[in-house]
Structure 1
Amino acid sequence: MQAFAALLDSLSFQPARNAKLRLIETYLRETPDPDRGWALAALTGELDFPAAKPALLRGFGEDKIGPELFHLSYDYVGDLAETLALIWEGNPDAGPPPSLGEVVETLQRATKMQTPAILKRWLDSLDATGRWALLKLLTGALRVGVSARLAKQAVANIGSQPVSEVEEVWHGLSAPYRPLFDWLLAEGPKPRSNMGGAFLSPMLANPIDRTELDTLDPGHFRAEWKWDGIRVQVASSGGVKRLYSRAGEDVSGAFPDIIEAIDFDGVFDGELLVRRDEAIAPFNDLQQRLNRKTVTPRMLKEHPAHVRLYDVLWLEGEDLRALPFDARRARLEAWMAERPRARFDISPLVVFTDWAHLTELREAMRQDGIEGLMLKRGDSPYLAGRPKGPWFKWKRDPMLADCVMMYAQRGHGKRSSFYSDYTFGCWRETDEGKRELAPVGKAYFGFTDEELRWLDKWVRDHTTNRFGPVREVEPSLVLEVAFDGVARSTRHKSGVSLRFPRINRIRTDKPAAEADTVDNLLRLVP
């Protein structure tokens, strides 16, 4: 456990991607099984401990120093694991600290009644860093700047393999991944991938703007709309049916209607959407389906899922990724023409003559569910990663609104000492004819570190009320907010929901009374 704690501690203080990779690679090479496998599972989000939830850990803290002092400390520190690790006092008579493997394997067998005593014994035996790492492991929120893909890249590096090879076998494995390490480090056989039902590393596009288009030959490219949903991969083989996110996360459980509609063998690249009466619903409707462990019949009926296909990677036992895009597109169209496919259709190509014509089409398209254009070379094979040159994304320019900061809350991790999460609102008229601010969104990025320090001081100097960890501020600071779309929403007090809001700039030059209105936002709803 101490070695894993040292890894997490080093990762949390290391901002550079390549340095993080080296830290993980060193740990995986030097740590024996099964600890390195459990560590890899933790870094990729594959571990879950149902009997050790945050409520239990908060109870530990409240018992130690009292509820009020604990919650004040938690509010100040901003991180549950760090707070509890700091207030807990070790016991030299508690015995040796556990190994990572012991922690995972014991908690997988322990009952809900046994878990508290086990955790207290371990917390007594570990130092502050070890306690912090243990608690991070239990909550699943490591927050050390390591994505699942970065961890997979590190494990691929120790075996001198491309990360795409690891991703193709990943979903056929389970922690602690002994066959994976045997293959990468001990010349063992490559684990079977079950290709048709496996996740294949996606091909990603590079952003482009109008001026850069003039350096490209429009005759070499095909255009299609960039749909405003979630990029997914549909995979099926030998009765195994799965739906993956772009990062390779299995999201099948949240979309049983899509899984039920799969009656083919192949791997397809597409966009997950909600579709009603032949029309694509706003992204806000899709959000109602995301990250759910169970989906009610009502949810299935009111938010029907649909996949709009972009590409075919594997079809009826044949790997098509080496074919040019035009050939893959022809295969996809021929396959779809064989018979109707419930909950699936093909994203249509956008016919254009030159870049000026495509620019006109892009500016004229205001249909809900579209956030820009994709440009793909007709001769491009399907390559894992983000190669430069074959594919580009030309997103719409963001919408902008001047909003007033209403509330602020401390961030997490490295931002736990700063008020970095801002709720902002726009003006609307009440039934009595008065003006009031109604919250329209929340953002916690888009600003520089220097601007964060300025905003944090402004919040502290202009606080008018406190609600637990939230500060209400004087409604006088205008923030220019950028967002990618707006939809009506019954879940928000203002009646609107913004898509990907972020702080574009701080408008100290503008009086709060001149900020935008909710009616202005509603006019942007398609």
Structure 2
Amino acid sequence: MIGGFAELLERLAFTPRRTLKLAHLEAYFAATPDPDRGLALAALTGGLDLRAVTPSLLRALVAERVDADLFALSYDFVGDLAETIALIWPDGAEGKDIPLHKVVEELQRTPKAQLAQVIAARLDALTPSRRYAYLKLATGGLRVGVSARLARQAVADYGGLDLAEVEEVWHGLSPPYESLFHWAENGPKPVSAAFAPFRPVMLSTATDAEALAMLDTAEYVAEWKWDGIRVQAVSEGGTKRLYSRTGDDISAAFPDVIAAMDFEGALDGELLVRRGDQVAPFNDLQTRLGRKQVSGRMLASHPAALRVYDVMLWQGRDLRALPFSARRAALEAAVQTLDPARIDLSALLPFDDWHALATLRAAPPEPVIEGVMIKHRDSPYLAGRIKGHWFKWKRDPMLVDAVLLYAQRGHGKRSGYYSDFTFGVWDGPTLVPVGKAYFGFTDAELKALDRFVRDNTVDRFGPVRAVKPEKVVEVAFEGLNRSPRHKSGVAMRFPRIARIRDDKPASEADTLDALMRLLPDTAR
């Protein structure tokens, strides 16, 4: 029922703890029959194929029922379109609760010309909380703090199954996942119909010099941490697929890499744009992500390549239980059979102690290197984030002092606060925007920034407030690239507000020239 789905979304949205989110999901699966629970799972994992319900369609609908100024003020305060409409929509004659599968079928089958009318009728017959769930389902933007992997973990926990097994059959299944839930309830394991399926990846834990000092250097190897995206390249039975670390199939965007996957097995590595021996900045790779088709011109100007650092399966043999040293030997032999222009090997770094590795980390040979990866020689390939096996030791972030310029309300639990901040640096006598950040600060700092925005607003642009250019913040970021899409000419990688600089006047914030000097030599 849509009512049960609405209650689930509400509980998930207001439950911060992972264990409690899992408990809510398990309870929902136990209490909800097929096919509704499988459709809810599909909604949470991004697997529902619904007719597109756009924000513009919803705005047009609400404009017919609610005063435009009242809606604008309400949306500015709430910060979430679905929640605003759910709350402000005039109450009609409340109808009976509706099975979730009927709602999904209706959204899938209704012709586009009739969609607005059908949605309006549904909103008239639902309570505010059910309207909210309906709109979230229709738009696909659930925002309840549940990743696809967490949802699959809940299914595994519900049935006492191994998450790795669930993830290996996942890509052969489709909503409403009745065979998956049958398996979870002591039925037979589904036979995956997917060729070249995704396998759960091994993840690393962050570390630092102090923690590394407790470990025996001789037990570990290290390699560079490249600034690309983690991928799994699988080629089995003539089917070739490229997956992101979360299991999304991104093959269509990288046909040049797919064409070079002339092997039988599954490789783990980093996807990069590589021109000869030079690895391009992450922005170059980003231009190809998410595309359904890639032009010949882009294939030539932004050639993709795979830098592999582990092997999971090779020529029909599962190598994941072997120690890293044995897998590495197999990987070195495997890469020699592949096209080096598209698939090469991540080199191991020479170091005798952690101080020597720290020296390498501080001065990498290429600006796109984020730090180092450290791996135990005896580590098997284990799904998930297993402590003590793989570590990432990232480079210290870049820092600039910038001035807050604009603020916007957040979403979900942050909808009552100004939590999305645009900041700038001096370009001569003018402040120019150079980035936007919405995390890094503590709850107390968020409240202080929110109070500053409210007390120092000088202009409004829809949901955005311009503030007096007086508040200085220290911004940390992982990298910097040139970007013609930004007025400043640069784009920051993963910016975050590291601290509030109330000790510093705005006149002493950094300059655009100083920021430009942080660009890699190849980008200047």
Per the normalisation by structure 1, the TM-score is 0.95
TM superposition shift of 1:340: 2.4
Indicate the residue corresponding to 1:155 in structure 2. Answer: 155
Q: Is 1:474 paired with 2:444?
A: no
- Aligned mates of 1:308, 1:212 — CA distance in 2: 28
The whole-number CA distance in structure 1 between the counterparts of 2:516 and 2:412 is 36
Aligned to 1:407: 406
Q: Counterpart of 2:314 in structure 1: which amino acid? A: L
Structure 1: 5+ residue stretches without partners: 430-434
Residues 274 and 281 of structure 1 are in contact (CA less than 8 Å); yes or no, is this contact kept in structure 2?
yes
Question: Which deviates more, 246-255 or 409-418?
Answer: 246-255
Counterpart position of 1:280: 279
Cα distance 1:478–1:81, how it changes in 2: closer, same or farther (>3 A)?
Answer: same
Question: How far 1:70 moved relative to its partner?
Answer: 2.2
Structure 2 residue aligned with 1:68: 69
Name the SS for the 2:476 alignment partner. Answer: strand
Deviations 1:48-68 (A, max 9, x none): 423422221111111111433
Question: Do the aligned partners of 1:205 and 1:393 also contact (CA within 8 Å) in 2?
Answer: yes
SS at match of 1:65: coil
CA deviations 1:263-309 (Å, max 9, x no partner) are 32211111111112321111122222223344344333322222111
Structure 1 residues 152 and 348: alpha-carbon distance in aligned structure 2, compared to 1, 3 A threshold: same
The answer on 1:450 being equivalent to 2:444 is: yes
**Which residue is 1:172 aligned to?**
172
Structure 2: where are the runs of 5+ without partners? none
Contact kept, 8 Å, 1:159 with 1:185, in 2: the verdict is yes
CA distance in 2, matches of 1:355, 1:179: 50
Deviations 1:313-352 (A, max 9, x none): 0112111101111111111111111242542111111111
**1:7-50 per-position Cα deviation (integer Å, ceiling 9, x unaligned):** 11111111111111000001111111100000000111112423
CA shift in 2, pair 1:68/1:261, >3 Å: farther
SS at match of 1:182: helix
CA RMSD of aligned residues (A): 1.6
Query: Could you tell me which residue of structure 2 aligns to residue 428 of structure 1?
Result: 427
Task: Give the aligned length.
Answer: 519
Give the partner amino acid of 1:332. Answer: L
Residue 50 (structure 1) aligns with: 51
Deviations 1:197-221, CA, capped at 9 Å, x for gaps? 1111111111111122221111111
What percent identity do the matched residue pairs reach? 58
Q: Tell me the amino acid that sits aligned with residue 509 of structure 1.
A: D
Q: What code does the residue aligned with 1:370 have? A: I
Contact 1:441 1:498 in 2 (8 A): yes
Matches of 1:68 and 1:288 in 2, distance apart?
38
User: 2:324 touches 2:377 (CA, 8 Å); kept in 1?
Assistant: yes
Q: Secondary structure at the match of 2:424?
A: strand
TM-score, normalisation: structure 2: 0.96
In the alignment, the residues of structure 1 paired with residue 221 and residue 47 of structure 2 have an alpha-carbon distance, to the nearest angstrom, of: 38
Q: Which of 502, 506, 516 pairs up with 1:522?
A: 516
Return the offset for 1:95. Answer: 4.6
Secondary structure of the residue aligned to 2:122 is helix
Matched, 1:188 2:188: yes
Which moves more between the two structures, 58-67 or 225-234? 58-67
> CA offsets per residue over residues 204-255 of structure 1, 9 Å max, x none?
1111111222211111111100001111111121232221111112222332
1:381 to partner: Cα distance: 0.6
Q: What is the CA-CA distance between 1:402 and the residue it aligns to?
A: 0.5
Q: Distance in 2 between the 1:454 and 1:402 partners?
A: 18
Distance 1:296 1:475 in 2: 44
Task: Specify the SS of the correspondent of 2:385.
Answer: coil
Residues 94-151 of structure 1, C-alpha deviations (whole Å, 9 max, x = no match) = 7534211011122222210122222222212211111100001111111111111110
Does the CA-based 8 Å contact 1:51-1:111 persist in structure 2? no
Deviates more, 1:156-165 or 1:284-293: 284-293
Which residue is equivalent to 2:235? 236
Structure 1 residues 506 and 339: CA distance shift in structure 2, 3 A: closer
Relative to structure 1, the CA distance from residue 90 to residue 297 in structure 2 (aligned partners, 3 Å threshold; closer, same or farther) is farther
Separation of aligned partners in 1, 2:104 and 2:77: 30
In structure 2, the residue matched to 1:303 is: 302
